[in-house]
Structure 1
Amino acid sequence: MTSVGSGYDLSVSTYSPDGKIFQVDYANKAVENSGTCIAIKTKDGVVVGVEKLIPSKMLCHGSNRRIHAVDLHIGVGISGFLADARQLVLRARAEAKSYKQIYGQPIPVKVLSQRVAALCHVYTLYGSVRAFGCSIIISGIDQEGPQLYQVEPSGSCIGYFGASMGKGKQAAKNELEKIKFNEMTTHEAIKEIAKIIYSVHDEVKDKDFQLELGWISTTETKGQFNMVPKDLQSDAESYAKNALEEANM
């Protein structure tokens, strides 16, 4: 990348001769160096899971979170620079609040995703700024049912049945492609996401991690985004570890 982009990667507003914006590519690289984030849209909701890498043993359990609620019916998962992602989360909350004040109803997931994506895109247009070094998965339930969108540093906003980003993106994608999303429930998706994250985590190269899980369901959470209860998460982690041991045997 350095040889091809030499001189063209000094500004986010400069294209290389082959039509690339290298600062956006570098932002994507920052996402790829982060912990894996996976989301699955099921027939009754959406589940988001994050492999939160632990940089220090002194870190308090539950801090440095990578899953956040934006509105009662929307939540996000994060990969990449946490400081950058925090700004997108704050902007998403402001957009959700503004939409409700103006229109008197909760913001649709697609509208919120497009507004956040527009902000990311703006930061690829001017030489005085840099692209956000993070990607976020926006999940929720609105009048059209469960929704799942991924927003990338380039400003692209794409809807998915299953999405992955971070270190284990490709390996997780291969596993997601085997799933029949329309037949899966949120309880099954919690176990599936835990299994995938444990399988893509490299215990030799990667740091220790904590599994974070968030979900929203029409039946289990009554259409509100919450963190997965501890008992369900413990069951999912036990299931994932057993599946990993069986695979290794």
Structure 2
Amino acid sequence: MEVLKVWRPEQFAGYDRSTILFSPDGRIIQVEYARKAMQRGTISIGLVARDAVVLLGRRKMDILVLPNKKVYQVDDHIGAVFSGYSADGRTLINYARERAQVYRYVYGEPIDVELLGYEVAEMMHQYTQYGGARPFGCGLILGGVDIVGPKVVYIDPGGALMRWIAGAIGANKDRAEKFFRDYVEKNGGKLDVDLKEAIMLGLAGVLLATSLDIKPEEIEIGYVKKGEKFVIKTAKDPEILPLLQEAKKKAGEWKGKAGEEEASEETSEEGMI
């Protein structure tokens, strides 16, 4: 009887079988696999403006399927966007909503954006510490305006949390981040922009990670200003469409100067957004 042997990279040597095992070089291989799942999702972006935050993402479109949601409202002052497995992302969104509502009920005030991020990060981290569980196959970006000001936080599949000025996750995210980095460096290390400028820059990031010819309805945008509620629109909205045209020009100019080619086609599969 022939025995089928499963090939494994020698350097992993079984350390990828569990989330509670460290490899000899200090890696948790299953968490790294989860990060790869996140990068197979469609692009997601978060930016901080002077008195607002902007979240953007590309929606999966198919002629036979209604468009999926990409940007979600968590509380009146907070939104979220994720890349990776949609079922995992929905679980995190619902958990964040629950924690935000519990905080509002107990303390009578809206939750701080970073505090909510840490609550979600703690839950995600727990799934890397116990046998019989797997890490979440997605990354989450939370953005909102609290008593301190506008904040964007990113939580990775391992439970690490980082505050961002601007950043991206998902397919071809490096192109968007390179664009943001160049913009910030040229402006003295700051992203000192108003809401419209932030939306335009975010749209340019989406275009660079996908295609300059992307359809407006494929891009979903969420934003919130100080003292206002979180709003979700698509780039087809009359207020957003002129910003998309400006973003195309900006992205095209940057590609020419940077010598960048067109982004490769996203390979997002079923169950990924």
What TM-score, normalized to structure 1? 0.89
Instruction: Decide which structure has the larger Cα Rg and report it.
Output: 2
Percent pairwise identity: 29
How many residue pairs get aligned? The number is 241
Matched AA of 1:161: I
Tell whether 2:93 aligns with 1:84. Answer: no
Aligned to 2:264: none
Tell me the secondary structure at the aligned position of residue 79 of structure 1: strand
Q: Is the 8 A contact 2:55 2:221 kept in 1?
A: yes
Write the distance in 2 (CA, Å) between the matches of 1:244 and 1:91. 36
Shift of 1:237: 2.4
On the 8 A contact 1:213/1:233 being kept in 2, the answer is no
1:193 aligns with 2:202: yes
**Residue among 225, 244, 248 paired with 1:241:** 248
1:210 paired with 2:218, answer: yes
The one of 51, 55, 62 equivalent to 1:48 is 55
The Cα offsets for residues 210-249 of structure 1, whole Å up to 9 and x where unpaired, read as 111110112xxx4311114711222222223344556678
| Corresponding position of 2:64 | 58
2:16 aligns with 9
Tell whether the 8 Å contact from 1:53 to 1:209 is kept in structure 2 after alignment: no
Listed one character per residue, the Cα deviations across residues 2-54 of structure 1 (whole Å, up to 9, x for unaligned) are 33113111111111111111110000001111111111101111011112233
**Partner in structure 2 of residue 183 of structure 1:** 192
**RMSD, aligned CA:** 2.3
Cα distance in structure 1, aligned partners of 2:118 and 2:173:
23
The separation in 2 between residues aligned to 1:109 and 1:240, in whole angstroms, is: 28
Deviation digits for residues 124-145 of structure 1 (CA, Å, limit 9, x no counterpart): 0011100000001100011101
In the TM superposition, 1:13-52 aligns within 5 A as 13-52=20-59
Indicate how the Cα distance of structure 1 residues 246 and 169 shifts in structure 2: closer, same or farther if over 3 A, else same: closer
- What are the Cα deviations for residues 68-87 of structure 1, in whole angstroms up to 9, with x where unaligned? 00000000011111110000
C-alpha distance in structure 2 between counterparts of 1:170 and 1:38, whole Å: 11
Cα separation, partners in 2 of 1:2 and 1:212, compared to 1, 3 Å:
farther
Letter in 2 for 1:32: Q
Give the stretch that moved more between structures: 92-101 or 169-178.
Answer: 169-178
| TM-score normalised according to structure 2 size | 0.82
The answer to whether the Cα contact below 8 Å between 1:66 and 1:82 also exists between their aligned partners in 2 is: no
- How far does residue 65 in structure 1 lie from its aligned partner after superposition? 0.7
Q: Is the 8 A contact 2:19 2:28 kept in 1?
A: yes
1:111 to 89, 109, 115: 115
Residue range with higher mean Cα deviation, 185-194 or 171-180? 171-180
